[in-house]
Chain A
Amino acid sequence: MLVISCIKQVPDTTQVKIDPVTNTLIREGIPFIMNPYDTHALEESLRLRDEYGVRSVALSMGPPNAEATLRKACAVGVDDAILISDRCFGGADTLATSCALSAAIERLSQDDNLAIVFCGKQTIDGDTAQVGPGIASRLSLHQLTLVDRIEHLDLDQRTIQVRRKLEGRYEIVEAPLPVMITVVREINQPRYPTVPMRLAAEEIEVKTWDNSVLKLDVETVGLKGSPTWVSKIFSPDRDQGEIIGDGVTDPEGTAQLLIDKLLSKDLLAV
């Protein structure tokens, strides 16, 4: 039985600044990290591996240096790590990315029975939350997004019940396997790599699959297969705020003023 976690290497966005003149991301010297939501996807696949003995495989698409991120997945103990990397995959948008990932997942499930594909709910660099659902559509998997708990998993009956964390409510959903699940932070606490595992991970061979393996139509991948075009990146202007009331002399009145103001702008609901 196979559980796959899709992880992406992203620039540490807390450190990314937008150049005010050129309106481009200043990426120079910014370290790459594993997309924080994906660390939870990875952890959940490892948790199921520990509990049910399924095979946990980490999958990532990116430039060759994304291997570093997969190595981190090895350090926490995935059974296999595969990097999808090819020049022709570069510049992919969410559609082209989900196509390539889907092809790889399909290939992996030829030798093993696919149960779950885990993705983070979104990435911190693109924030689209489309790749997970994209994979689900390409592969006709049932999609369970924003999951914060796996309530029940029955590998024999091939069913899963999860809890989805939605705004102001939870939803308990059941689906037959295989499924695609996107996870939120609350689902688990990612494990910390032990030193022996880190040292072992340094020697593990991260497999790289290029298009000679996946054999996708070059028109459907990379920049060519991406209908999305970024026309401009900019930081939005922020309106100058105003100072209302006087919190020192009249804290209560000021708090009231603030509440009224927020209500009037529809930023607060009673």
Chain B
Amino acid sequence: MSINQTIYIPLFAVSVLFFCYSCYQRLQLISLGTSENRTDRAGARFAKMLTYAFAQKRVVQRPFGLNHSLLFWAFLLLALANGEFLLEGLFPSVSLALLPTPLHYGLAYVFDAVSLLTLACVTIAFARRLFFAPDYLGNEYSSPRSGEALLILGMIASLMIAFFMLHGAQIALGEAAASRPISALFGKVFASLSVASLESVALASWWVHAVVLLVFMNVLPRSKHMHILTAIPNTYLCSLEQPNTQLREIFEKGQRFGVGAVEHFSWKDLLDSLTCTECGRCQDVCPAHITGKPLNPRRIVHDIKVNLMANGPTLKDGFSGELPMIAEEQGEGTSSEEALWSCTTCGACVNVCPVLIEQMPKIVKMRRHLVQERAEFPEELLTFFENAEQRSNPWGMAPADRGKWSSLLGERPFSVDKTEYLFFVGCAGAFDTRAKQVSVAVATIMDQAGITWGMFGKEEVCCGDSLRRLGNEYVFDKMAKANVEMFIEKGVSKIVTACPHCFSTLKNDYRQYGLELEVIHHTELIEKLIQDGKLKLPRNAELGKTIFHDSCYLGRHNDTYNAPRNVIKAATGNAPAEFGRSRENGFCCGAGGGRMWMEELTGERINRNRVSEALEQKPDTLCVSCPYCMTMMEDGLKDLGNEQVQVKDVAEVVAEALMPKQ
């Protein structure tokens, strides 16, 4: 078979040049972003890339993920076959046949088998998109049956078929070795054809394969299949922060605060937007989206991409773009303010994305802009911001009353040589009626176990969690500095908190302020005390059937899943029942990300959704580990008119097991 090189060589050259040009254009767009260091700790990055890109850890967690993962591996192998194919067109003498025969035959066999596998996977993918696509694959701007997706699958299928026909005809002609089992089958079918017909079949198949391959290569950078090129680097460049805490801002004149236009995002944010595979998994787990809010994390990422594409050309020329990144109304390429304010920062999206896209941090960045540059936010936050700044607690209670909850326990000041732990009570624990009972339970448990602890009392100030998640970084920054200074001044080295928000903020966010302390959540402390035999539980707490709700900031953000469960088991004699969505897949109560201080007017209430899920298991006691979850679960139960189920913090469960039997 001889290829007409006067046609092929120019075609090949144009395709490659165009492909390079498309990639260059995309790189230029990415380079519009602000700087961010994502190349440190190469070892850790490499490990992430192996786990998430090559081992496809998250991809395979869903049905059909395996299908994708097989396709991925097949692609890598077939890249070799296709490389050889393209080269052979340029230099007809270059071919696998140059290799030692066993290797040549071996490779030919593998390529043939893998092509069959690919064809099977593509057929399944096709059928899935056409006949049993999951809901989350589509949304208002994209359908599972989108032309683009089907086109790509169609192209892959035709590549495989052309590949088999080409080699089949060559085998029938006696030009190729018969070490290709599938192609050989095609060869058998073609056996009756004349030599001339066989040659035309081979030639036609070759050209089909070549043209489709070159077109495919050029479709990639211009479609969501860009992820074929970017997913692997994207996993390498991912955030190594666990949890994904927002970066600090520098408060100096002339600085910009937050992200108000697409070019304010970092280059990595922009790379994320071009990497999104539109798999819809983040949309499927987002509590805001599920309950009918206008937020969809996939949409956030998609809108950044659309905005970048639309504004890119003018931005490259040094002008600002026309399409707004944030506006009151949502539009393609524009996120709505309501969407941004709907996020509970639960982290479910970040945790599920197969290519490690960081959706939630982008939302916080845009909130920062709204709060700090525009002073635009839902009305109810004004009171919250002022209370937090002026009185250092969300309710605007008198700071002097912070220590009052412990009046029955006597004075318990922290002092570096007399107390081991600082009990950082937190605003809820100090002021919220229900959470105060939890504070007492935690204190009682520590006393029983002989732990020495003290607190700052009226000197304690808010940790600033909600402020930070709401984008009020300026006030958060002041609070964090004040707290860190106080911890250092008082010589604190170990902190126990009764709130996952304080816990995560002190432990993770404050690290950015140079504070590395041992911070422990009360459920972890109690677990340790029971394990070490320091805390003896004389009886089982009689709370009927229990079920445990994971707090996002304890669970997903800090990977603490077992401690609360083990403690409940130790205190009641039975392991708690599990929600359908639990642990990594836990569903937010609706209060994180500062949503605690905001109205929830659109769609179903998130806490209602969660409480209904609990009630499916018919529990007697719903256990929580967070004061916000406590409020949300209690409110949700009231909302549903349920008066039988009680909500208890894990510490209260333990305190009950400590009480003498009546």
- Can you show 5 pairs from A to B with CB atoms below 8 A apart? A12-B391, A31-B390, A194-B372, A195-B372, A196-B257
Separation in Å of the B459 CB from the closest CB of chain A?
10
| A17 contacts B by Cβ under 8 Å | yes
Q: A195-B373, A199-B251 are in contact. List 18 more A-B contacts (CB 8 A).
A: A14-B396, A15-B398, A15-B400, A29-B400, A31-B391, A189-B379, A192-B375, A192-B377, A192-B385, A194-B372, A194-B373, A194-B375, A195-B372, A196-B253, A196-B373, A198-B474, A199-B253, A203-B253
B374: interface (CB < 8 Å): yes
For residue B382, CB closer than 8 A to chain A, the reply is yes
Shortest CB distance B250–A (Å): 11
* Set of chain B residues within 8 Å of A203, measured between Cβ atoms: 253
In the complex, how many residue pairs between chain A and chain B have their CB atoms under 8 Å apart? Answer: 43
Of residues 178 through 215 on chain A, the ones whose CB sits less than 8 Å from some CB of chain B are 189-196, 198-200, 203
Q: Which of chain B's residues have a CB closer than 8 A to the CB of A12?
A: 390-391
Q: Does B252 interact with chain A (Cβ within 8 Å)?
A: yes
Partner of B374, one of A17, A29, A33, A194: A194
Q: Which residue of A lies closest to B400 (CB)?
A: A15
> Which residues of chain B (394-444) have a CB below 8 Å from chain A?
396-400
Contacts of A189 in B (CB 8 A): 379, 382
CB distance from A21 to the nearest CB of B (A): 17
Q: Which 10 A-B pairs have the closest CB atoms?
A: A195-B372, A192-B375, A15-B398, A195-B474, A194-B375, A195-B257, A199-B253, A14-B398, A194-B373, A33-B390
Of all chain A residues, the one with the shortest Cβ separation from B382 is A192
A contact residues around B251 at 8 Å (CB): 195, 199
CA gap between A200 and B382 in the complex, in Å: 21
Q: A: which residues have CB within 8 A of B?
A: 12, 14-15, 17, 29, 31, 33, 189-196, 198-200, 203
CB-based contact A193/B375 at 8 Å: yes
Closest to A196 in B: B373
Whether B253 contacts A200 by the Cβ 8 Å rule is yes
* Distance of A193 from chain B, by nearest CB (Å): 7
User: How far is A6 from B372 in the complex, measured between Cα atoms in Å?
Assistant: 27
Min CB gap A258→B, angstroms: 24
The distance in angstroms between the C-alpha atoms of A126 and B661, with both chains bound, is 56
B458 CB to closest chain A CB (Å) equals 9
Per the 8 Å Cβ criterion, residues 163-186 of B in contact with A are none
Q: Least Cβ distance of A34 to chain B in Å? A: 10
Chain B neighbourhood of A190, CB < 8 A = 382
Report A20 CB to chain B, min CB distance, Å.
15
Q: How far is the CA of A192 from the CA of B387 in the complex (A)?
A: 13
| Complexed CA–CA distance, A189 and B400 (Å) | 28
B597 to chain A, nearest CB (A): 14
Q: How near does chain B come to A86, taking the closest CB pair, in angstroms?
A: 28
Provide the residues of chain B in CB contact with A15, threshold 8 Å: 391, 398-400
Tell me, rounded to whole Å, the shortest Cβ–Cβ distance linking A249 to chain B.
Answer: 18
- What does the 1/0 interface line of B428-470 toward A look like (CB < 8 Å)? 0000000000000000000000000000000000000000000
Measured between alpha carbons, how far is A14 from B399 in the docked complex, in Å? Answer: 10
- Bound-state CA distance A200–B253 (Å) is 7
How many angstroms between the C-alpha atoms of A194 and B253 in the bound complex?
12
**Residues in A whose Cβ lies below 8 Å from that of B252:** 199
CB distance from B214 to the nearest CB of A (A): 51
**Whole-angstrom distance between the alpha carbons of A29 and B396 in the complex?**
16
Complex Cα distance A230/B324, Å?
59
Set of chain A residues within 8 Å of B398, measured between Cβ atoms: 14-15
Closest to B379 in A: A189
Alpha-carbon distance between A63 and B165 when the two chains are bound, in angstroms:
93
* Nearest-CB residue, chain B, relative to A15: B398
A196: B residues at CB distance < 8 A:
253, 257, 373
- CB nearest to B258 among chain A residues: A195
Which residues of chain A have C-beta atoms less than 8 A from B396's C-beta?
14
Residues of B49-105 at the interface with A, using a CB-CB cut-off of 8 Å, are none
Q: How far is the CA of A200 from the CA of B255 in the complex (A)?
A: 12
Q: How far is the CA of A12 from the CA of B386 in the complex (A)?
A: 12
Task: With a 10 A CB-CB cut-off, give which of B371, B374, B375, B382 has the most chain A CB atoms.
Answer: B375
- Residue of A whose beta carbon sits closest to that of B397: A14
Residues on B with beta carbons closer than 8 Å to the beta carbon of A192: 371, 375, 377, 382, 385
Chain A residues near B375 (CB-CB < 8 A): 191-194
CB-CB under 8 A from B257, the residues of chain A are: 195-196
Q: Which residues of chain A are near B379, meaning CB under 8 Å?
A: 189
Contact string, B252-268, partner A, CB cutoff 8 A, digits 1/0?
11000100000000000
A77 to chain B, nearest CB (A): 10
